């Protein structure tokens, strides 16, 4: 079939979704990138293609992501590059002819970067060009209608690949980069903006420039809008997002927040913003493609499409310290003697409600300290240093916690994660925290930052949250994990997360009970926007005779954009219909979010469901102070 260029300009066209997601769901395992399944399990790959055709896809991508020499060579398959690509191209073409005879369906040859975006050092340009030429030549021989260069994390490498593909093929080319959200701004791994990629790559006149992977539906809308304003005349725009945010579950498998109807709505929004080809990447399925097909044909487009949440205001230098001057008053709490320890040690009938404020931001330490001072001035009793989920290096949560502890004279809680850290390194970190005077811990398994390719499968998994609790409580007893006595005990007060938004509350209940039996003294919820599911988990704990103090995490909604993203793209968050609809009516006014949070706090504390509150609110110190003051009033706490 010919004429893809003309068809796309007459579009929009709908592409398929993730092949790897479906292949993994079948239980298929491979030693390489998975592209070799076209050789070793063609019936499986053909069946997956057919499912996307049945869902309404008009563009099928060959199952050849990673089928490029440098990647296949890592798995002993360097001599099968042509075989894999030729087989995959012919398989996709045959599936179209058998399953959709007469339908205008186009086969796109998928080409990845020569190496993972995280690989070091970067490949030699000559190596990249040779590898791309080899793969594109095989795909062209196999009968594809176009070439899709996808998930490139560097504009220069995308340019190299585009030029190399043209040396061996006259097929139309789509060039796609991948972006991640860094402090509210989409950038490539190399720090390039959507405008820069669109201008640099668009100057070479591919049929289209676009983006795939990493970002979810809402985040990619910003990329589409920004690319569409700068692409050269005649160059089109594409958009293939992930299903949502990936999340590692206890068996180390990956689950994506996945809402097919939400995905479909955003496919229509992409078209309204200027995209000519839409589809899906990691985590998407035929259900997502079917929802997109309905949204593109049923119309009209939904109105009131929000912009993604704006990035927090970053205040640095002297301005960061103006919110609350450091008067140096009050002693720094001694080991295990802070406000949290007093709260834990009080009898249940006399335990005062604890108010905690999260001070950590993805920025300089002085901003975190300024936020902490502002929160303390507004009535917070404890500051929390959390862990940011970012692809770029940030100051560690432990370092921020130490700075908060030293420079605000406050009791500080710290999130400690076990992901990508060995048991020995975790023990060293805990001993270091003891030396710094930070003893209030919240132990998590944690989630890696979002990357392209295999988003969250890498890392060290020696210890999960339960093992981390056991390690910390062992040190608190004055014994190392091998049973040898320490010179002095580390007086840690150990808490853990509870996830009321889990889609399996029975499993969550069992998991929380295991954490408590391992030594956890208190629970901290994930952000909550309704109380029914939390009540069910805590009632289940009561029924088993296991109950410890609970801190309710509240994160007031900033507006409809954040509400929609939480509802459809973030795992383990339950945001009720009524809350979403209220946010839709309010637009980007943050006041309803504060009102909802205040009501939840008053109800949860008034009913005795929880024993304290953690306040999360991104942005400058004054914004956090306002939330702490409002929610403290709901608790009966006054600054």
Cα–Cα distance, 2 to 4 (Å, whole number): 6
Q: DSSP letters along 226-286, please?
A: HHHTTSPTT-EEEEE--SS-EEE-TTS-EEE---HHHHHHHHHHHHHHTEEEE---TT--H
Cα–Cα distance, 67 to 79 (Å, whole number): 11
CA angle 637-597-364, nearest 5°? 80
Per the document, the length of the chain is 639
Cα–Cα distance, 111 to 135 (Å, whole number): 8
Instruction: Kindly report whether the peptide bond that precedes residue 331 is cis, defined as omega within 30 degrees of 0.
Output: no
Say whether 154 counts as a known binding-site residue.
Answer: no
Cα–Cα distance, 495 to 413 (Å, whole number): 10
Confirm if 302 and 67 have CB atoms less than 8 A apart.
Answer: no
Q: DSSP letters along 391-413, please?
A: SS----HHHHHHHHHHHH--EEE
Confirm if 419 and 468 have CB atoms less than 8 A apart.
Answer: no
Cα–Cα distance, 382 to 367 (Å, whole number): 17
Q: 282: burial class by Cβ within 10 Å (0-12, 13-18, 19+)?
A: buried
Cα–Cα distance, 517 to 584 (Å, whole number): 42
Strand 254-256 to 246-248 pairing: antiparallel
Instruction: Kindly report whether the peptide bond that precedes residue 12 is cis, defined as omega within 30 degrees of 0.
Output: yes
Please tell me what DSSP assigns to residue 360. Answer: -
Among 312, 319, 266, 316, smallest CA distance to 289 is for 266
Say whether 282 counts as a known binding-site residue.
Answer: yes
Beta bridge partners of 240: 212
Rg for the chain (alpha carbons), in Å?
Answer: 26
Confirm if 204 and 163 have CB atoms less than 8 A apart.
Answer: yes
Cα–Cα distance, 500 to 531 (Å, whole number): 8
Cα–Cα distance, 303 to 268 (Å, whole number): 11
Cα–Cα distance, 530 to 512 (Å, whole number): 19
Confirm if 91 and 45 have CB atoms less than 8 A apart.
Answer: yes
Q: Taking the CA of residue 336 as centre, how many other CA atoms within 13 Å lie in the half-sphere pointing to its CB?
A: 12
Give the SS3 label for residue 110: strand
**Torsion sign, CA atoms 611, 401, 322, 358:** negative
Cα–Cα distance, 41 to 39 (Å, whole number): 6
Residue indicated by tokens 């000559």: 126
Structure tokens at 513: 């009970």
Binding residues: 213, 281-282
- Give binding residues for Zn(2+) as ranges: 213, 281-282
């Amino acid at each position: 079939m010919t004429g893809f260029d003309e068809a796309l300009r007459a579009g929009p066209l709908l592409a398929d979704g993730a092949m790897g997601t479906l292949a993994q769901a079948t239980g298929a395992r491979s030693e390489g990138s998975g592209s070799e399944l076209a050789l070793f399990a063609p019936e499986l790959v053909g069946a997956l293609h057919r499912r996307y055709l049945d869902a309404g896809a008009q563009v099928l991508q060959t199952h050849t992501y990673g089928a490029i020499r440098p990647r296949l060579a890592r798995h002993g398959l360097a001599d099968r590059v042509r075989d894999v690509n030729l087989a995959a191209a012919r398989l996709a073409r045959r599936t179209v002819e058998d399953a959709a005879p007469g339908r205008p369906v186009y086969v796109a040859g998928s080409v990845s970067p020569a190496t993972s975006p995280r690989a070091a050092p970067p490949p030699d340009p000559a190596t990249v060009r040779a590898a791309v030429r080899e793969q594109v030549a095989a795909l062209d021989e196999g009968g594809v209608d176009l070439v899709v260069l996808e998930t490139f994390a560097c504009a220069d490498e995308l340019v190299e690949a585009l030029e190399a593909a043209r040396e061996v093929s006259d097929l139309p080319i789509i060039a796609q980069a991948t972006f991640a959200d860094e402090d509210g701004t989409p950038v490539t791994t190399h720090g390039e903006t959507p405008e820069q990629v669109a201008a640099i790559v668009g100057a070479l006149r591919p049929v289209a420039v676009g983006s795939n992977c990493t970002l979810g539906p809402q985040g990619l809308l910003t990329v589409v809008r920004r690319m569409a304003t700068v692409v050269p005349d005649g160059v089109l725009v594409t958009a293939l997002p992930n299903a949502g945010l990936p999340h590692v579950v206890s068996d180390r498998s990956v689950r994506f927040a996945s809402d097919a109807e939400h995905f479909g709505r955003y496919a229509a929004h992409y078209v309204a913003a200027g995209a000519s080809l839409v589809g899906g990447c990691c985590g998407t399925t035929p259900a997502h493609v079917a929802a997109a097909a309905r949204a593109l044909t049923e119309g009209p487009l939904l109105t009131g499409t929000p912009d993604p949440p704006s990035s927090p205001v970053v205040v640095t230098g002297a301005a960061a310290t103006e919110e609350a001057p450091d008067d140096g008053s009050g002693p720094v709490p001694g080991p295990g003697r802070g406000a949290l320890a007093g709260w834990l040690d009080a009898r249940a009938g006399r335990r005062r409600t604890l108010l905690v404020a999260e001070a950590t931001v993805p920025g300089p330490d002085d901003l975190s300290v300024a936020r902490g001072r502002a929160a303390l001035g507004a009535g917070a009793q404890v500051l929390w240093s959390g862990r940011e989920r970012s692809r770029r290096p940030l100051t560690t949560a432990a370092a921020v916690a130490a700075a908060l502890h030293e420079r605000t004279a406050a009791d500080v809680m710290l999130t400690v994660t076990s992901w990508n850290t060995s048991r020995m390194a975790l023990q060293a970190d805990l001993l270091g925290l003891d030396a710094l005077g930070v003893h209030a811990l919240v132990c998590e398994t944690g989630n890696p930052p979002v990357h392209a390719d295999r988003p969250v499968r890498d890392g060290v998994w020696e210890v999960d949250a339960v093992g981390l609790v056991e390690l910390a409580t062992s040190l608190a007893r004055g014994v190392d994990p091998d049973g040898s006595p320490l010179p002095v005990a580390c007086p840690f007060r150990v808490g853990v997360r509870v996830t009321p938004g889990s889609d399996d509350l029975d499993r969550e209940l069992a998991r929380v009970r295991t954490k408590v039996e391992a030594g956890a003294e208190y629970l901290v919820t994930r952000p909550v926007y309704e109380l029914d599911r939390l009540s069910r988990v805590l009632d289940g704990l009561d029924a088993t005779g296991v109950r410890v103090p609970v801190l309710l995490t509240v994160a007031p909604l900033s507006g409809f954009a954040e509400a929609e993203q939480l509802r459809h793209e973030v795992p383990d968050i339950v945001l009720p219909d009524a809350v979403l609809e209220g946010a839709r009516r309010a637009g980007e006014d943050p006041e309803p979010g504060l009102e909802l949070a205040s009501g939840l706090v008053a109800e949860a504390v008034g009913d005795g469901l929880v024993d304290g509150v953690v306040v999360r609110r991104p942005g400058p110190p004054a914004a956090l102070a306002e939330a702490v003051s409002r929610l403290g009033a709901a608790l009966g706490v006054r600054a």
